[in-house]
Amino acid sequence: MKIVTSTDRAFVPTLKKVAARGRAQGSVVEKPVRTILQAVERGGDKAVLRFTKQFDKVALAPDQMKVTPEEIKEAYYHIRKEEGDALRFAAQRIEAFHERQRTKTWMYQDGSATLGQVVTPIDAVGVYVPGGKAVYPSTVLMSAIPAKVAGVQRIVMCTPPQKGGVNPYLLVAADIAGVTEIYRVGGVQAIGALAYGTKTIARVDKIVGPGNLYVATAKRMLYGTVGIDMVAGPSELLVVADEGAKPAHVAADLLCQPEHDEEAQVWLVTTPASFAKEVLDLVERQLKGLQREKIARKSVGRYSVVFVVPTMDEAIDVANEIAAEHLTLSVDEPFDYLERIRHAGALFLGRYTPPSVADYIAGPNHVLPTGATARFFSALSIHDYTKISNIVHYTKEELSKVKDHLIRLAQIEGFDAHAKSAQSRFS
């Protein structure tokens, strides 16, 4: 990790580079992604199985793509009771949080006209759960439970196949979360299958969940053919710490994201330079002995920056400029700063809110916008699984009150058919 202070010439360029981190994301892989998607659209299951063998090194027959109920039951025997209890505990808390997000159908009267909106769930949702470097049962819970709460009837999970079968933690989590179909298919070919549909995997209306650069690019390229939640990139964390923060706690928090992936990014914004140096020393010490030390060390070495600024107000300005996926405020009175934070996927407030509590059991969703897209994207929520349709009902009496204004506006825009559709009710 490098330290840059507000007086350094490199401060502004470094901050601008961090803030622009997601702009070109995916462009380098668009060509191969497009080739795979086109092949899946044309070839269906055959193309999916061909790419599965090519990229995942697993040869499947068409009838092996779907996970059977027997396999799900068997998965429970491969995990410990206390692990299942932990998954159910997390699931209950996630469900309780997302129940509070419900938006109701509502209507009101405007004279004799009735106006409002009706909220309906999406029919079918695809949940993508990454494989590869780690196993993510927590992501299964976070992605599928809000769909269940929203009332989605068909929840389809795709995850890359493993030579020994689908990880039992994923299967148990999917069962707890209410997933209705599970397929051992991953990568771009899974996204294509969910979007276009194949003989085995019926198409869905929306695809949610994180993935690598190829998966994220596939989602972005298919937007319009299918709905998506967001275009997620590598995990990120920004810690804003005042001089009262404990360096050991800050260092430990900063290492939560780098162990995900070599491309993960973390930043620290603080006021005392001495504090920054102490944190860096502790990061180095805490890296040693981590199970995923090599991965975390690469991430920290490549992307991590410490910004030292004179005041906490300036620290908040830097945080807004970066628009991080996770933002920790390790400060006195963190709620005093809440209204000033404009861009963050999730906020962790205070000295005793480690990122891990939100990742697993607090209840709020951990599928969050990355790459500075927190400026316009939100955390995954029940709203990603519902649609809002407007309701308009006019009586003849109420239409007569507004028709003259309606006709004039239609005439301004040169749409006489619009005008006549109103006039015809009174001719």
Cβ atoms 423, 411 nearer than 8 A: no
265-270 and 236-241 beta bridge pairing: parallel
Q: Which helix (H) or strand (E) holds 265?
A: strand 265-270
387 forms bridges with which residues in the sheet? Answer: 120
Is 325 among the residues known to form the active site? yes
Cβ atoms 258, 264 nearer than 8 A: yes
Marked catalytic residue, from 98, 249, 260, 326: 326
327 forms bridges with which residues in the sheet? Answer: 238, 347
Cβ atoms 176, 91 nearer than 8 A: yes
Is 326 among the residues known to form the active site? yes
109 forms bridges with which residues in the sheet? Answer: 114
Which residues 6+ apart lie within 8 Å of 20 measured at CB?
372
Q: Where are the alpha helices (DSSP H) in 202-259?
A: 213-222, 247-254
Q: For residue 295, report the phi and psi dihedrals to the nearest 5 degrees.
A: -65, -50
Looking up tokens 């969910």, which residue turns up?
194
DSSP structural state of residue 143: H
User: 81-99 and 168-177 helices cross at what angle (nearest 10)?
Assistant: 40
Marked catalytic residue, from 95, 262, 321, 325: 325
Please state the separation of Cα 104 from the chain's center in Å: 24
Neighbours of 108 (CB within 10 A): 9
Catalytic residues: 325-326
